Structures are given as C-alpha cells and as structure tokens.
Amino acid sequence: MNFYSLNKKSPNVNFKEATINGQAPDKGLYFPEIIPQVKNELISNIENISNEEIAFEVIQPYVGDSIVTNDLLNIVKETVNFSIPLIQVTNDIFSLELYHGPTLAFKDIGARFMSRCLGHFVKGSDKKVTVLVATSGDTGGAVANGFYNVPGVDVVILYPSGKVSSVQEKQLTTLGNNIHALEVQGNFDDCQQMVKAAFLDEELNKKLFLTSANSINVARWLPQQFYYFFAYKQWLKKDKPPVICVPSGNFGNICAGLLANASGLPVQHFIAATNANDVVPQYFETQNYQPKKAVSTISNAMDVGDPSNFVRIMEIFQQQFSSLTAKVSSCSVTDAVTKQTLLDVYQQHNYLCDPHGAVAYRALEDYLQTNPNNKGIFLETAHPVKFYDVVEPVIGQTVEIPESIRAELLKEKKSTVINAGASELKSFLMQL
C-alpha cells in the first residue's frame, strides 16, 4: 500500500515513510492509493472474532510490508487492550464508550498505535525524532502517555492556555522526561498554525527530524477505524445498520469512520455534530467552505475553525458534494443546548455524558426524530471527569474520579508559556 499527497505534488510513499514524515513535502495530507475492502467473513462473522484480530485485519492492508506480521500483531494487541463497550441509553440510542483507555479519551487508540509504530521504525537508528502536536484537549494527554519514555523520540505538545480542562492539562504537563508541554497564549488554531509553520521552516528541518502526532498523521488517523468495527460487533440488529453520530472538531474521527464504511463496514448514515465552530455545517448548507477563527466552548476539544481532515473526507467522496450529503449530515449545537442535554440524559436515563458526548447525543436524537425507524450510536469520546468543572455545576453532583488518574491530579504541572507565533516555537525547538 502506498500513500499519495492530497496536494498531488510529492512522491508516493509507503506506510513507514508516511508515518515518519507526518505530512508530505508539499504539505498535503497523505491518503491511501486504494481503499482496501474488508473480507465478507469479517462482517458476517464479526461477533466471533476477537478485537485484536479485527483490528489487525483492518489495518494490515494499509501497513503492508512496512511492519512484519508478528510485530504488527503485538502493536495492535497493545493498542486495543482495554474495553470499548456499547451501552444502551434509550430504546433507540446507544453510547460507544471510548474512554476506558489510560488517558480516558478516544485519542488513546490512535496515539498508542502511532507511538508504537514510530518507536518500531526508529529502533536502532541514530536519528532522534521530534514529534510535534497541537492539542485542543485530549490529543495532548493521549500522545504524552503513548510516547512517554519511548527511546529516540522527543514530544513537543502545544496547547492553548486556559482553553483545556484542568484534568486534560495535568495529563499533558506532568510527565516530563521526553515530553515537553508548551502553553500557548492563543487558541487551538494558533497552535496548529505554529506546528504547520515549523514543518515549513528549512532551518528547523535541517536541525531536527520533525513529524506530527495530530490526526493528519496516517498512523494516528487510520486506527480510529477500529472502534467503528467494534461497535458493529456489538450491534444486535445486523439487518438494520446504525446511524452513527460523531462529535467533530478536526474531523479525523468521523473521517476514519467514513473510511471504514467505504471499506465495507455497514453504516446507515453519519452525523458530524459540531459546537459553535460550525464551518462544516455551514458548508453543508452553502457548499462554500469558509474557515473561521475558533471560538471557545464547553466542548473544547471541538474548538476548531479550520478542520484539517475535511479534505480527506472530500477525497473519500471523490470531491462529489451529492455523494457526501447522501451519506453524511452535519449540525451545530450551542453550549446552552449541550448543558440542557447533559442534564436531561442524566436525569431521564441515568447516563452521564461529557460535553462532547452531549453534543453528539443531541444531534443524534434530533436526527432520529425526523428519521423514524432508525436506531443510532453516539460516540462518547471522553470520561466526564475530564470536564468536571463543566459537568458538576450542570448535574449538581460530584463526578467520581477514576482511580487511574487520582495520582496524576496531584502531580506538579510542568509547562513552558510562550506567545502565539512561529518564531517562539522555533526558538524553543532550536534549543532541544
């Protein structure tokens, strides 16, 4: 399997090169030359296949001969070695809980897979790799955890000051060693632009071997397909595929789901649920894609004004708007409605969402009201405790802290405060 740049001005590369490069030299995102089709038996017999085997079958065609079978099997086993349950909330709505990994967020799957792949590729090399990542919340903690103490890898995480939850901040700032947290005086889009500028800087790239751990990297993006297959494995009505609603910020998650669907996974319809950062819902209404400056919301991991992965979604649909809208719809949910939904679901169904899950629940509920005879799944992407400062005032109760992160909350924050701008990041990186 080779990957091509969506800017079409760089050579095609294999999985190893795409992972190490992050972005193509022409700054396009990598995309697989073909979308492999999963075996019919995988779908028809999925209840009897282990998660490890499902994940291996899904990812192996993309990896090709870049990683030998036994090593890839071990990477996959370490990636999916926690539960991803499908929980019934109402008669028609189910929650896919993606927060049972080490950092209590869906990003654990992609970050664990990518860190192990990159560690595999740099093993025995005299080249040190510097992983650059911008985070609006959960990516930072998942990447920090995944790459912590991986030999030959430095990680630099940029996050917007005051715009991630206190739990998220602790998870990405307390590890130290090869993990460096930069607290940027700006928003997520500023962080993302700084990372992009670093990749364009010739002097930096001569000194450092830079790669990205955002969902622009194929090793972060592609394994997110796994849990869509795991959801279908647990779906009881195989004759009626689910509607799936994904809380969407940078659009890597829903893009992976759409790729899984294109490769043969049965899904009735996808909903891309956003918060007030509604660039994509506006595109669905106007066919005019117009990036905006991100605004802060209580579902902060979705505070993205120019989602990087939307170009991949359009590539899946071969740039055809009609094909896109036949399979996908998109809507925006306000903070006020998010809070009300969070409270209603808790009081009426005894189920506690985080703010991102509440956005997706509301969008799915609205869709099902106008599309009866369907049932759906929303992705619950983070444990509610990661947003206790939002959730607790809404429900009027304390969110129980999982034992796995109690110790982290007591650790000392270690971050370097910098202003937004390429020069500040460059100065830091040149001193690594």
Domains of the chain with bracketed CATH: 82-106+221-401 (3.40.50.1100)
Contact call for residues 253 and 378 (beta carbons, < 8 A)? no
Nearest of 93, 427, 73 to residue 244 by alpha carbon: 93
More confident residue, 128 or 258: 258
Contact call for residues 362 and 338 (beta carbons, < 8 A)? yes
For residues 419 and 184, give the distance between their C-alpha atoms in angstroms, rounded to a whole number. 6
For residues 258 and 235, give the distance between their C-alpha atoms in angstroms, rounded to a whole number. 18
For the residues 406-414, what does the mean pLDDT come to? Answer: 85
**How is residue 369 written in tokens?**
């009201």
Grade residue 140 by pLDDT with cuts at 50, 70 and 90. Answer: confident
Contact call for residues 385 and 353 (beta carbons, < 8 A)? no
Could you give the percent of the chain with pLDDT greater than 70?
Answer: 100
Q: Are strands 209-212 and 243-247 parallel, antiparallel or unpaired?
A: unpaired
Grade residue 164 by pLDDT with cuts at 50, 70 and 90. Answer: confident
pLDDT of residue 399: 94
Residue carrying the six token digits 């802290």? 401
pTM check: above 0.85: yes
For residues 105 and 198, give the distance between their C-alpha atoms in angstroms, rounded to a whole number. 27
pLDDT at 123 over 90: no
For the residues 387-404, what does the mean pLDDT come to? Answer: 92
pLDDT at 60 over 90: yes
pLDDT of residue 151: 86
pLDDT at 167 over 90: no
Could you give the percent of the chain with pLDDT greater than 90?
Answer: 80
pLDDT of residue 320: 97
Query: Residue 213 — φ and ψ, nearest 5°?
Result: -115, 10
Of the candidate ranges 165-169, 383-387, 398-402, the one whose mean pLDDT is the lowest? 165-169
Query: Residue 162 — φ and ψ, nearest 5°?
Result: 75, 5
CB-neighbour burial class of residue 349 (10 A; exposed 0-12, middle 13-18, buried 19+): middle
**How is residue 154 written in tokens?**
């430095």
Contact call for residues 133 and 301 (beta carbons, < 8 A)? no
Of the candidate ranges 98-102, 403-407, 428-432, the one whose mean pLDDT is the lowest? 403-407
Hey, which of 68-82, 109-123, 178-192 has the most confident mean pLDDT?
68-82
Grade residue 124 by pLDDT with cuts at 50, 70 and 90. Answer: confident
Contact call for residues 313 and 287 (beta carbons, < 8 A)? no
pLDDT of residue 235: 98
**How wide is the angle at C-alpha 325 spanned by C-alphas 320 and 327, nearest 5°?**
105
For the residues 62-82, what does the mean pLDDT come to? Answer: 97
Residue 270, Ramachandran bin (φ over 0: left; ψ between -120 and 50: alpha; else beta): beta
Average pLDDT, the chain: 94
pLDDT at 125 over 80: no
pLDDT at 175 over 80: yes
For residues 185 and 421, give the distance between their C-alpha atoms in angstroms, rounded to a whole number. 9
Q: How many CB atoms lie within 10 A of CB 182?
A: 22
Contact call for residues 148 and 108 (beta carbons, < 8 A)? no
